[in-house]
Amino acid sequence: MTPIQTPSQVFDAVQSAKAGAPAFCTNFFPVESKLRGWIDHGELFAELRNGATFFFRKDRDFLRLYFCAADVAALQREMVARPCVQTERVITDLVGKGPALDDLASAIESAGFRRHTLLQRLVRAAGPESAADGPPVGFAEKADSQAVLRLIESLFDHYGEQLPTLYEIESAVASRQILAARSNGKLAGVLFFETQGLASTIRFWAVAETFRDLKTGSALMRQYLKIHDAVRRFTLWVNANNENAIRKYRHFGYAPDGLIDRVLARGLIPT
């Protein structure tokens, strides 16, 4: 694997794989700001092969795999031949509408990957929201960053749900993208979001177990919606098996739009 030094290397490699491709397929839609963070922290690597380009991002104790291939056949051929895919813990995501992902999933499973989990996207249109209740909510502060990370890591699957790193949390705090609820001076819950223009995505909505009967989650969500009164489209991803979370999101007007994320794993990863 070759370390990536600049975002332009990524975009050039993607275009190279795409040029003249008869049935181009990919799970990689890079955003320059995120690429810069990965590159600055030495997390991103690439392999250019015949008809396919693979990107690997170091994430805790495993690799996240992104691919760009001329077609499914090239993806399958080169995937099986990648030594690091055969020897490392590797996770990859396939996003799309159900059956449309079957051929890609089969190609990747031929390299030893198995289903780890399934995420589904929920959406919410703009609309009025009632006033917040529960504990006070404000923006997280830099000193909260470690506690925010610990809370998220304690409640979410780090293989399946793309948890943030500490530097990503610190950046989000600085950009006022994390709301925090407090009770008796303790961090009771957080809502981590990303907003661009008229669209906003919830990345994590997390409440510590000891504060779940105090309307903490409700206070966070209502404050989030209140400060985004100009947003026209809200989205999020949730574990499709987490009926409790889905029920809570539905209460606030979210509903599935049919898009799913099949998370596939290879190596010593629980499935």
Q: CATH code at 149? A: 3.40.630.30
Asked whether residue 220 is assigned to any structural domain, the reply reads yes
d(C-alpha 24, C-alpha 144), whole Å:
43
pTM over 0.85: yes
Q: What is the pLDDT of residues 115-174, one digit of tens each?
A: 999 999 999 988 766 666 778 899 999 999 999 999 999 999 999 999 999 999 999 999
Query: Can you give the C-alpha Rg of the chain in angstroms?
Result: 20
C-alpha to C-alpha distance for 4 and 34, rounded to whole angstroms: 13
Asked if 55 contacts 14 with a C-beta cutoff of 8 angstroms, the reply is no
Rounded to whole angstroms, the Cα distance separating 214 from 224 reads 17
Considering the chain, what percentage of its residues have pLDDT values greater than 70? 96
Q: Which of 112, 142, 162 is the last residue of a domain?
A: 112
Rounded-to-integer distance, Cα 37 and Cα 55, Å: 15
Specify whether 255 is located in the same domain as 131: yes
State which of 77, 112, 147 marks the end of a domain.
112
- Domain residues for 149? 124-260
Residue 247 lies in a domain: yes
For residues 141 and 225, give the distance between their C-alpha atoms in angstroms, rounded to a whole number. 20
Does 269 reside within a domain? no
In sequence order, which ranges of the chain are alpha helices (DSSP H)?
Answer: 7-18, 32-40, 72-80, 83-87, 102-109, 145-155, 166-174, 216-227, 243-251
Span of 39-43, 48-52, 111-115, 235-239 with lowest mean pLDDT: 48-52
Structural domain contains residue 265: no
| Residue 271, in any domain of the structure | no
pLDDT at position 106 is 94
Region 37-58 average pLDDT:
93
CB of 180 closer than 8 Å to CB of 104: no
Task: Please report which confidence band the pLDDT of residue 268 belongs to, taking 50, 70 and 90 as the band edges.
Answer: low
